[in-house]
Amino acid sequence: MKARATETQRKTRIQIENEERILDAALEEFSAHGFRGATIDRIAEHAGMSKPNLLYYFRRKQDIYEALIARLLDKWLEPLQALDAVGDPLPELQSYIRRKLEMARDFPRESRLFANEILQGAPRIKRLLESELKPLVDEKAEILRGWMRAGQINTVDPRHLIFSIWSTTQHYADFDVQVQVILGPDRGAAGRFEDAARYLETLFLDGLRPKDKAGGTPRVRDL
């Protein structure tokens, strides 16, 4: 019988192995070229099997893509899930930033997969963003607002705060080539991420304005 995912049926050893290999190869290709730029041929080649064989496990290109997204979304949202109301705000936020940065370091392909999808208008996962991401962000934004009301962190729009954490951390995965061109090969990947972590800590905690200059607060604000 056909190995269709829709049916409730135990998976064969070979099925499990091959779907794994296909999804890994697909991650490689989709994250590097986007949905339209990736081809079944290259995914099959990368997975070490013939194209018809691959299509035996996933009937259509889009099926591979959707399986991949479904498998990765939860993992991707884990750091934000972990943001907890009970901890102290600043360490809690630092921890969130650190986790996101570690995700960018350890799972750059996953980061680029989502980046490609969103960048190209999220035609295939927009619904998923509305049903999964939006409520999660709303929930965590409420926690942040609580901290702001209590004066434990500066008052800002919590959703924009979350955007800035996403963008600054994922930048190191998504724009890695550019980062490497600019930083040069001096420090390895690990060193780059340490530097990034140190910088982001300063930025998010204290910003750029020096804490106390010699006399008074100049507070230059306007442009």
Partner DNA sequence: CTAGAGTTTTATCAAACAGTCAATATTTCG
Partner DNA sequence: CGAAATATTGACTGTTTGATAAAACTCTAG
Residues that bind DNA (CB under 7 A): 1-3, 9, 12-15, 18, 38-42, 49-53, 55-56, 59-62
Cα dihedral across residues 162, 164, 165, 171: positive or negative: positive
Residue 2 Cβ, how far from a copy of itself at the closest point, in Å? 30
Residue 175 Cβ, how far from DNA at the closest point, in Å? 25
Q: DSSP for 15-63, please give it.
A: HHHHHHHHHHHHHHHHHHHHHHH--HHHHHHHHTS-HHHHHHHSSSHHH
Residue 96 Cβ, how far from a copy of itself at the closest point, in Å? 10
Q: From DNA, a copy of itself, none, which one binds at residue 41 (CB under 5 to 8 Å depending on kind)?
A: DNA
Residue 47 Cβ, how far from a copy of itself at the closest point, in Å? 19
Q: From a copy of itself, DNA, none, which one binds at residue 15 (CB under 5 to 8 Å depending on kind)?
A: DNA
* Cβ-Cβ contacts under 8 Å for 62 (sequence gap 6 or more): 124
End-to-end CA distance of the chain: 69
Contact criterion met (CB below 8 Å) for 41 and 94? no
Residue 109 Cβ, how far from DNA at the closest point, in Å? 18
Give me the helices (H) in 58-119, please.
61-81, 89-106, 108-119
| DSSP state at residue 120 | T
Q: Which is nearer to DNA, 9 or 202 (CB)?
A: 9
Q: Which is nearer to DNA, 45 or 102 (CB)?
A: 45
Q: Which is nearer to DNA, 22 or 115 (CB)?
A: 22
Q: From a copy of itself, DNA, none, which one binds at residue 55 (CB under 5 to 8 Å depending on kind)?
A: DNA
Question: Cα–chain-centroid distance for residue 96?
Answer: 12
Q: From DNA, a copy of itself, none, which one binds at residue 110 (CB under 5 to 8 Å depending on kind)?
A: none
